[in-house]
Amino acid sequence: MKKKLFSETTYRILIIVTAIFFALLVGAILLLIAKTNPLKAYVVMFTEPLGGKFGLTEILVRAAPLMLVGLGIAIAFRSGIINIGGEGQILIGAILGTFIALSFPDLPTYILLPLIFIASFIGGAIWGGIAGWMKAYLSVNEILSTIMLNYIALQIYMFLIRGPMIDPKEVSYGTGVPQTAPLSRNAWLAKIIPASRLHAGIIVAVILAIMVYLFLWKTTIGYKLRAAGAEAKAAKYIGVNVKNYLVLAMLLSGGFAGMAGAIEVCGVHHRALESISAGYGFSGIVVALFGGLHPLGIIPASAVFGLLIVGADMMQRSGDVPASIILAIQGLIILAIVSIQIFFSNDALKEKIMTKLNLMKSGDKDDN
């Protein structure tokens, strides 16, 4: 028999590219329905942000929270639990971090910033942990509970920034914009490129991604977490308390989303305001899936979706199509990615396609 011309990797890449192509094709139809030239829209979306300092720095500004949420979601997925609650966990993290920042404005940065991040982590962790605990001990479907917790978190967050935590200036001027007072300079993440919004949050995110990798693949706890997710029964057999690991996974998952809240507060807005999350809780899911649920895949994946989000904003600003279309395209990408898993797991199907591809390839060779 002839040696296979197509390796496993080429096969995988081919399948993924085909899936993304289909997602973008359906997206093109949607863009047409939205009275937009799809080709032009895609060109703007994928290339315009790359053309200058503004676009490039903005991509990284977006990538930082996406990466953190994506890491959290990957930890949960790897442990066999689906965390759709990123949105709520970001908000609770953001508001707790803001509370610390506003309470201790004069602490030096090197103490204050870690404190804020810890507070945000705890806030998100509690919010995720509730769902994890209910999943483990009451068998409450975690998708439904995390979604409900999103709505609850949003209302609590809005209540706080409209009421008890509103900027006193908003009250005295009578403008009433729902946002907290600005944070003291000590609570700001440092700018890493002047005259842009790019802040040190991206560095924090990358370091955390590497730490998550080491944690999941190089520690016993990480190994057990993944075991609980991959094969709960087997994990039980080797002495893993699957229930406790579910809760732990959701604590960590929520905590990472919570830190994404801190990054937005300390790095971008320097206060807690209404639209702080901008859908990162959901986009993080796409990032995690696109990154193969692997921390080192999530780093580039968050840049890709940072690019798409910035591109969509640019499209909206040029008056082409509302940026919300990017949510629909992300939805399509999720559908595409989950649909192709069968091409990797079903060996018979894989064999069939590989044989066909090999025939095609060898056919090409004969022509030459």
Question: Where does this chain bind other proteins (CB under 8 A)?
Answer: 30, 33-35, 82, 84, 134, 138-141, 143-145, 147-149, 151-152, 155-156, 158-159, 162-163, 282, 285, 289, 321-322, 324-335, 338-342
Distance in Å, CB of 184 to other proteins, minimum: 27
Residues 6+ apart with CB under 8 A from 253: 72, 73, 75, 76, 81, 83, 89, 128, 132
Distance in Å, CB of 52 to other proteins, minimum: 26
Distance in Å, CB of 34 to other proteins, minimum: 5
> Toward other proteins, which CB reaches closer, 131 or 227?
131
> Toward other proteins, which CB reaches closer, 84 or 205?
84
> Toward other proteins, which CB reaches closer, 98 or 145?
145
Residue (of 50, 30, 29, 27) closest to 314 by Cα position:
50
> Toward other proteins, which CB reaches closer, 47 or 324?
324
> Toward other proteins, which CB reaches closer, 148 or 192?
148
> Toward other proteins, which CB reaches closer, 14 or 107?
14
> Toward other proteins, which CB reaches closer, 69 or 285?
285
Task: Output phi, psi for 181, to 5 deg.
Answer: -65, 155
Structure tokens at 299: 């780093």
Distance in Å, CB of 275 to other proteins, minimum: 12
Q: Are 235 and 242 in contact (CB under 8 A)?
A: yes
Task: Output phi, psi for 79, to 5 deg.
Answer: -95, 10
Distance in Å, CB of 287 to other proteins, minimum: 13
Distance in Å, CB of 360 to other proteins, minimum: 23
Distance in Å, CB of 84 to other proteins, minimum: 6
